[in-house]
Amino acid sequence: MYKNRLKELMLERNISNHKLAKETTISRQAISKIKNNEFHDISVNVLTELLEYFDVSFNEFGTIYTREECLRALLPDKGFNHKNLDLLESLFSENLRISCKYHPYSSEQCLNIWSKGYFKKFSFSGNMRINTSLYGLTFEITDFDLYKKSENFHFDDFYNFYKKFIIQLEHYALTLGFTQIVINVNSYTDKDLDTRLEPRKVNSKDLNFLTNNYKYSNRENELIKTSIIKKRGYIEHSDNDSYQKIKSEKERINNYVDCLNHLTFFEKEQKRISMFSEGNIYSDHDTKKFIKPLNSEFIPKEKLEKDVKRRWGW
């Protein structure tokens, strides 16, 4: 990762965004992005022009950081320290009326979180970590499971709690200045169909049916999670080239199946399995990463969907 000093150089020489844009071919929008995000990805042409304009060398304009060095440089403000955990607890307390237990580890880069014992209707646990990309720090939810403890609950309350929990994590990441949030979703074994499946977005009627009529398991957890994050604008990412090529076809089949309202949930799943088989589409059971930019000015959607291997170093 390359950390630029554009903001510092502009302050030293009293150069405004307007002046720099006027005296170069770089747009004010591009200047603002680089200036406000010191780890922003800079094209060779733009970098060359900036070096010439400020009459500095590559090493004088910025510093190359390894992933570990980047984390050490940025973690003091964004790690899971007491101050930031107080912020997270306040978000949960004020908006969800819950309290959690926290266990930071790996030099405050990772966090284990779980609900306190008096939480009556649901229990949950999860793991989060701070990662890096060419755009800066990523807030990643590596694992999160919400379970019902009581049969005496309404599905809408359960679903809305899950959604609000994710929203609070987004607020936390945005407040601390992370450029993106990532949520991992896992494949699950459907014991009723005796097969392993990738989760898909499922309509609320089918989710309601599953949670009210079957023992809550990884299937329901991953389906609810996937349904919520897709509605909230998360983009599925994979560094597997073969999977990228068939992702759109899988999405088409999943959306088609979900609209077959005359079928039960399990009939839809059997239809999905059949269509995958007919199209020679095989499931990828690796963990899926769903990405949401927290500042669309820094990370345009188009950039998330191209140059996958070059841009994402998980």
For the segment 184-203, the average pLDDT, to the nearest whole number, is: 89
* Cα separations in angstroms, 104 against 48, 111, 129: 42, 4, 9
Q: What local confidence, expressed as pLDDT, does residue 120 receive?
A: 66
For the segment 1-10, the average pLDDT, to the nearest whole number, is: 87
196: helix, coil or strand?
A: strand
Instruction: List pLDDT tens digits, range 244-268.
Output: 667 888 888 998 999 999 999 999 9
What does pTM read for this prediction? 0.72
Alpha helices in the chain (DSSP H): 6-12, 17-23, 28-36, 44-54, 58-61, 67-78, 82-96, 155-175, 204-213, 218-231, 241-258, 265-278, 301-304, 308-311
For the segment 86-105, the average pLDDT, to the nearest whole number, is: 90
CATH number belonging to domain 2-64: 1.10.260.40
Least confident of 65-74, 97-106, 110-119: 65-74
Q: How far apart are CA 69 and CA 2, in angstroms?
A: 11
Paired sense of beta strands 235-237 and 288-293, if any: antiparallel
Task: Give the pair of three-digit tokens for residue 261.
Answer: 């309202």
Domain ranges of the chain: 2-64, 72-311
Instruction: List pLDDT tens digits, range 217-248.
Output: 888 889 999 999 999 999 887 655 566 667 88
Report, in angstroms and rounded to the nearest whole number, the Rg of the chain calculated over CA atoms.
22
Instruction: List pLDDT tens digits, range 56-93.
Output: 999 899 887 776 676 666 667 888 999 999 999 999 98
